Amino acid sequence: MSQQSTQPTPKPATGYEILDYPLLPGVSCPCGTARRGLMQVESVPYSLHVTEISLDARAHYHKRLTETYFVLDCQADAAIELDGQVLPLKPHMAVVIHPGTRHRALGRMQVLIVASPKFDPADEWFD
């Protein structure tokens, strides 16, 4: 008869995470510059990015990731292109982008991006 372990799954030492995004390094990405948080926290199944969108954002897609963009701030003419369709954006709007959807933000803006599963630069594809 085998015995099952009765030990609980280990929890993070503190039971919570605190991130100070201005202290995270900015990483160049097709959208502009991203500060990617929670990338190394195994107990959290997603990553959380604050991204400054540049005027030359490139259209791309992901094969595995679902991204949710939450617009923190943007210019009046800001928009998002989804599979060739351009839709206007304004602060506090959210856009869920499913795998395979070609996308890019248009205009300067700051967005919060939730990537699930965690962001993986190997899952960034261009036509």
Q: Domains of the chain by range and CATH?
A: 26-121 (2.60.120.10)
48 touches 117 (CB < 8 A) = no
- Confidence (pLDDT) at 14: 80
28-64 confidence digits (pLDDT tens): 999 999 999 999 999 999 999 999 999 999 999 999 9
- Confidence (pLDDT) at 11: 57
pTM of the model: 0.87
Q: What percent of the chain stands above pLDDT 90?
A: 87
Q: How confident is the model at residue 115 (pLDDT cuts 50, 70, 90)?
A: very high
Please, how many CA atoms are within 13 Å of residue 80, restricted to the half-sphere of its CB? Answer: 23
